[in-house]
Amino acid sequence: MCRSLPLTDSVLIEGLEVETVVGVYDWERKVNQRLVIDLEMAWDNRVPGASDDVADALDYAAVSERVSSCLKRLQPQLLEYGAETLASDLQSTFGISWLRLTLRKPGAVPAARSVGVRIERGVR
């Protein structure tokens, strides 16, 4: 019997910076702050690897653009809400079966280099 192995290919976006309104406090609703996004997204890279056609690839430029516009429109209070909404939007828009998303807010806790949340959604 021939069983297929789980797909371990990914497309990556690391350190994507987005300026938006984010936070729970009154002062935070009046300023832009920087968010930093890391994404690992399952994708069968054998197809674009054979065709050399970006139409077969998960276009990291298009995903980056979508992340930025989504967070600017959403203006979340909690990072958790931003991450959950973003993950759901990316999965349905691009047909991503599984992703790991890290959303960091580097300025939030002065004594820390960064704080944030990480979620994984879907199945590989």
Ligand X SMILES: Nc1nc2c(c(=O)[nH]1)N=C([C@H](O)[C@@H](O)CO)CN2
Catalytic residues: 105
105 binds ligand X (CB under 6 A): yes
Q: How far apart are CA 120 and CA 99, in angstroms?
A: 6
* Contact of 117 with 83, CB cutoff 8 Å: yes
79 binds ligand X (CB under 6 A): yes
Please list, in sequence order, all residues whose beta carbon lies within 8 angstroms of the beta carbon of residue 116, skipping any fewer than 6 positions away: 36, 79, 102, 103, 104, 105
21 binds ligand X (CB under 6 A): no
What is the arrangement of strands in the sheet containing 33-42, beginning at the earlier edge strand?
10-20, 33-42, 98-104, 116-122
Q: Which stretch binds ligand X (CB under 6 A): 3-11, 12-20, 74-82, 86-94?
A: 74-82
Q: Of residues 97, 108, 119, 121, which one binds ligand X by CB under 6 A? A: 108
Q: Of residues 54, 62, 78, 112, which one binds ligand X by CB under 6 A? A: 78
Q: Footprint of ligand X on this chain (CB under 6 A)?
A: 23-25, 28, 78-80, 105, 108
